[in-house]
A and B are shown apart, each in its own frame.
Chain A
Amino acid sequence: MNKNGKLYFEIDGKPCYADAGQSIIDAAKANGVFIPSLCHVEGVKPAGSCRICNVKVNGRVMTACTTPVEDGMVVDNDIPELIELRKAIIDVLFVSGNHFCPSCEKSGNCELQALAYRYQIMVPRFPYEFPLKDVDASAEHIFHDANRCILCKRCIRTITKEGKHVFAYQGRGGEHLQIVMDKELASLLTEQEAQEAMEICPVGAILKKEQGFIVPIGERKFDKVPIGSDIEKQ
C-alpha cells in the first residue's frame, strides 16, 4: 500500500496503483494498460462471460473483470500463453456465429473484429459451424441479429425499458443458447435508446435501423487505430 491509500500491484512488471475494490481490468486501464475484453462495461457488475480478459494472478488464470486488485498482486497480461488463449477464444467466437465483416454495419466499430485485427488473426483455426440463428426486425427502431451475437450479456445487463430487461438469454447449452429481444419492450424503445443499445453491443447483433452506413467504412473508430490504443497512449 502506498501513502495515498492506493493498492500497489504490477502488470507485466509495470508498477500500478488501484483503489480498494477496483477490478484488475479497470485499474489496468487507469494505469495505461490495455486488457482486452468483449463483455466488460465499466460501472456495471461484471459478467465474466467472454473470458478474453483472462490474466494470470500469482500464476493462476483469472478474469480481470471479476477479480479485485489486492495489494502486492502480480499480474501477467501480455504474455504468449494468454495471447494464445485470447486468440483461441476470438477464433471460437468467429466460427460459432455467422460473421460477415466486410458488409456488416458495425465493421470498423466492432470490437470482435478489432481484436482480431489487433491479434493479427487472418483466419480462425477452427472449422466454421454455420449455425442457424434468428433475426428479429419486429421493432420500429431496433434490429436484433443473433447470427452476429457473441452472447456477451452486455445488453442483458444494461438495456432496460420501464425498469425491465429488454434482452435475455433463451435456452442453454452450446447449440441452443441465444439472446432474444422482448418484442413488447423493444417496440417501445426510442431512437435514442436504440442508438445506445447499438453502441453497447460489441458486435453487430444490435443495430439501430436506418443507420448502417451513415459513417462510411474506412472512417470508423478502429479503421484508424487499433483497439486499446487510446488506453495505451495515456
Chain B
Amino acid sequence: MTEKIQSIIRKYSSDKYRMMDILLEIQELYHHIPEQAVEILADQLDLSRVDVEQTISFYHFFSLEPVGKYAIYLNNSPVAHMYGRTEVARAFEEEVGISFNSATVDGLIGLWDTADIGMSDQEPAAIINGTVFTELDPAKARKIIQGIKEGKKVADIAEEIADKIYSKGLLRTMVKNNIHAKGSVLFGDFELENALRKALDKTPEEVVEEVKASNLRGRGGAGFPTGLKWEYCRASGGDEVFLICNADEGEPGTFKERVILTELPRMLFEGMVIAGYAIRAKQGILYLRYEYRYLKEHLESILQGMREMNLLGKDIAGKSGFDFDIRIQLGAGSYVCGEESGLIESMEGKRGEPRNRPPFPVQSGYLDKPSVVNNVETLCKVVPILANGADWFKSVGTKESTGTKLLSISGDCKNPGVYEMEWGMTINEMLEMVGATSVQGVKVGGPSGNCIDSTHFGRSIAFEDLATGGSMIIIGEQRDLLRDFILPFTNFFIEESCGSCAPCRSLTVILRNKLLKILNGNGTKKDIDELYTWAQMGTTANRCGLGQTSANPIITSLDNFRNLYDDLIKTDQDYLSAFDLEKAVAASCEVVGRVPNIESH
C-alpha cells in the first residue's frame, strides 16, 4: 500500500494544493482513506495528521471508514422522495441486509444517503462507484444488488437495468437530457469557433465591453454582472490570472449544468477560451462536482479534440501569443463549494470554507492570484453574445434581465426537465408549460430561494422579481409542505454548513429544533413568533450565501404558508414544553405492559 500511495502523491508532485486529486484516487482505490494513507500524506506533505483529516472529513465522498467495494449513494432529497425514494431505499436494505449509512461486514456493499445529485428530473437516482443510476424502482434496486453479488461490473449492471443507454462518444449513460424547450440563445445556431474568431478580432478590452454591454448577469444565482467581474479582475493586474468555471451545481432541484455539460460542452469551453482571452488568463479550470464524475472522460475527450483543432493550447486559432488551456478539477461532495471562494479553497486541496471578503476572488483568488469564477451557463452565454452582438442578446428577456434562462423544473408536473425560456415569464405561464395543476407552492431557486404560494404565481421570473439560479421545484396540493420540504431543506443546510460562522452552524440547529417542536404538536403561537424572530437573526450575520440563506426555507414558508403553521399549534395554551412525557415513557410502558399514568403525577 505504501508504494501505491506514494506513487499517487508523486503523480501530483507532492503538492498539497492537489490534495483533492490525491484523496480522490486513494478513495477510489481503497474505498476509503486508510489510516496508513493519512500517515503517509501527512508525512510527505509536511502536515499534521489532523490537518489531512480535516480535509477528508469535510467532503461527503471521502471517508476514513470503508464505504464498500460497491458504494451506493442514494439521493435523499425531498424531490427524490416525491418519486418514490422510500420504497427504493427499503428494497436496497432488504436485498443487502443492512440499514442505510452502513456497509456490509465483508466490505462488499455500502448504502449511503446523499444530498441532491442533480437528477431531480429522473429520480429516484443513485451513484454507484461514480456511475449514475436513474428512475429506480424497487425491482431495479433488487436487480442491482443481485448483479453486484454475482460480481458484475457497475457499467454492465447499468446497461442491464437501463430503459435506454444514451451514447455520446465516451459517454454511455442512462441519464436523460429531458430538454423540453429550446430557446434562441443556448440552443440557437452554434458553430464552433465562430464566436471565438470574432472575439480574437477584438482586443480583450473590447470583449469585456461587449459582455458588459449585453448586461449578462451570473446564472449561478447571485446575478453579478459578468462583464464587470472581468473588468475588476483585469484591474487587479498581476502576472498570473485564473479563469474558473463553477460546475458545482449543488442547489437541490437544479440540474441544468448537467445538461449543458452533456449537450453543449464545446460551447462552454469556447466561452471559457473567450473569457480567458478577455481577462488574460492562461489557465482555465472546470470545477466539476463529484456527482457528475461520470461526465469527466466525455469532457476530457472534447477538450482533447479542441486541442487538436488548436482551439486550446498555444497561439489559439492562429492568434500569436494567446495561450490557454483547461483542466478539470473534481470536487468530492460539498454544497458550500458552489460558493466561489469555497470552491477556490477546495481547489487548493482544503476544506471548502468560504473566505472572508475583502479581498474578493477577482483580487486574490486561486493560489492568491486574481481569479474569475463564472457559472457554466454564464460562460456558455458569452458565445452567442460574441457571435451575434450585445444588442441581439439584449433584445431577448427584460430590461434588467437580458437574454434567456435555463430552468431545471422538477416535482409535481407532467414534464420535468430543462427549459430555456426568456426572462420575464410568469410562474403561471411556467406551470402551464410544464403541465402542472393543483399546485400548492413553488420553491423558486431551491432551498436557499423563495417558497411561494399561489398568490405569487402572477409574478415574473427575473432578477428584478423572482430571481433564481435555475431550480424550480413544484409542490402539489397533496404534499406535506412543512414536513417533506421545509424540514429536510433545513436539515440540508445544517449538514452542509462548513461550520465556520457561529450563527450558520448553530442557529440553524436551534431553528430546526423549534420547527420540530411545532411539527410534533407541542407548539404555541409563541413558538411561531420566536421561530420567525430567530430565523431573521442570522441572515446578515453570516459570511457567505449559504449562511445568509440557511433560514430561507423557514422564513419564506412562514411568510407564505403561515396557515400551515397555525394549524399545528395549540391555541388554548401560552406555553408548552417540547418534552412529551407520555411519548417518552410509551416504549418502556409497552415493554412492561403498563398503562402510562401521567395525569396523577
- Bitwise, B309-346 to A at CB < 8 A (1) or not (0) is 00000000000000000000000001000000000000
A163 near B: Cβ within 8 Å?
yes
Alpha-carbon separation in the docked complex, A129 to B358 (Å): 35
A109 near B: Cβ within 8 Å?
no
Known interface pairs A51-B542, A126-B510, A129-B509; A168-B51 also in contact (CB < 8 Å): yes
Q: Are B513 and A92 in contact (CB under 8 A)?
A: no
5 tightest A-B CB contacts, nearest first:
A177-B499, A168-B50, A96-B506, A164-B48, A66-B356
> Shortest distance in angstroms between A197's beta carbon and chain B's nearest beta carbon?
14
Q: Are A175 and B494 in contact (CB under 8 A)?
A: yes
- Bitwise, A93-104 to B at CB < 8 A (1) or not (0) is 101100000000
Q: Are B46 and A153 in contact (CB under 8 A)?
A: no
> Which B residues between 559 and 601 are near A, CB-CB below 8 angstroms?
578
Q: Are A48 and B543 in contact (CB under 8 A)?
A: yes
> Which A residues between 156 and 197 are near B, CB-CB below 8 angstroms?
163-175, 177, 180-182, 184-185
> Shortest distance in angstroms between B399's beta carbon and chain A's nearest beta carbon?
27
Alpha-carbon separation in the docked complex, A229 to B345 (Å): 38
- Bitwise, A68-84 to B at CB < 8 A (1) or not (0) is 10000000000000000
Set of chain A residues within 8 Å of B497, measured between Cβ atoms: 172-174, 177
> Which B residues between 354 and 407 are near A, CB-CB below 8 angstroms?
356-358
A30 near B: Cβ within 8 Å?
no
Alpha-carbon separation in the docked complex, A50 to B500 (Å): 8
Set of chain A residues within 8 Å of B357, measured between Cβ atoms: 66
Known interface pairs A51-B501, A61-B541, A172-B499; A68-B358 also in contact (CB < 8 Å): yes
Set of chain B residues within 8 Å of A50, measured between Cβ atoms: 502
> Shortest distance in angstroms between B131's beta carbon and chain A's nearest beta carbon?
26
Which listed segment binds A: B52-60, B67-75, B199-207, B294-302? B52-60
Set of chain B residues within 8 Å of A68, measured between Cβ atoms: 358
A15 near B: Cβ within 8 Å?
no
Interface centre among A88, A153, A163, A173 (most CB of B within 10 A): A173
Q: Are A127 and B513 in contact (CB under 8 A)?
A: yes
Set of chain A residues within 8 Å of B351, measured between Cβ atoms: 169, 172
Set of chain B residues within 8 Å of A92, measured between Cβ atoms: 502-503, 506-507, 510
B443 near A: Cβ within 8 Å?
no
A107 near B: Cβ within 8 Å?
no
Q: Are A85 and B541 in contact (CB under 8 A)?
A: yes
- Would you list 22 pairs from A and B whose C-beta atoms are within 8 A, ordered by A residue? A49-B500, A51-B501, A51-B542, A51-B543, A52-B502, A68-B358, A88-B503, A126-B534, A127-B513, A129-B509, A150-B502, A164-B48, A165-B48, A169-B499, A170-B50, A172-B499, A173-B495, A174-B494, A174-B495, A175-B494, A175-B509, A180-B50
> Shortest distance in angstroms between A121's beta carbon and chain B's nearest beta carbon?
15
A212 near B: Cβ within 8 Å?
no
> Shortest distance in angstroms between B547's beta carbon and chain A's nearest beta carbon?
9
A89 near B: Cβ within 8 Å?
yes
> Which B residues between 34 and 63 are near A, CB-CB below 8 angstroms?
46-51, 53-54, 57-58
Q: Are B356 and A48 in contact (CB under 8 A)?
A: yes
A147 near B: Cβ within 8 Å?
no
Interface centre among B46, B498, B502, B534 (most CB of A within 10 A): B502
Set of chain B residues within 8 Å of A182, measured between Cβ atoms: 48-51
B508 near A: Cβ within 8 Å?
yes
Q: Are B51 and A61 in contact (CB under 8 A)?
A: no
Known interface pairs A46-B356, A168-B51, A172-B499; A89-B541 also in contact (CB < 8 Å): yes
**Number of B interface residues, CB 8 Å?**
40
B194 near A: Cβ within 8 Å?
no
Q: Are A173 and B57 in contact (CB under 8 A)?
A: no
A67 near B: Cβ within 8 Å?
yes
Set of chain A residues within 8 Å of B543, measured between Cβ atoms: 48, 51, 63
Known interface pairs A93-B502, A174-B506; A67-B50 also in contact (CB < 8 Å): no
Alpha-carbon separation in the docked complex, A47 to B541 (Å): 14
> Shortest distance in angstroms between B38's beta carbon and chain A's nearest beta carbon?
11
Q: Are B499 and A173 in contact (CB under 8 A)?
A: yes
Alpha-carbon separation in the docked complex, A125 to B525 (Å): 16
> Shortest distance in angstroms between A11's beta carbon and chain B's nearest beta carbon?
19
> Which B residues between 532 and 549 are near A, CB-CB below 8 angstroms?
534, 537, 540-543
Set of chain A residues within 8 Å of B503, measured between Cβ atoms: 51, 88-89, 92
Q: Give the residue of B50, B498, B508, B537 whose beta carbon is less than 8 angstroms from that of A88.
A: B537
Set of chain A residues within 8 Å of B358, measured between Cβ atoms: 66-68
B123 near A: Cβ within 8 Å?
no
A54 near B: Cβ within 8 Å?
yes
Q: Are A173 and B494 in contact (CB under 8 A)?
A: yes
Q: Are A167 and B513 in contact (CB under 8 A)?
A: no
Interface centre among A67, A85, A126 (most CB of B within 10 A): A126
Alpha-carbon separation in the docked complex, A129 to B223 (Å): 38
Q: Are B541 and A54 in contact (CB under 8 A)?
A: yes
Alpha-carbon separation in the docked complex, A167 to B495 (Å): 22
A151 near B: Cβ within 8 Å?
yes
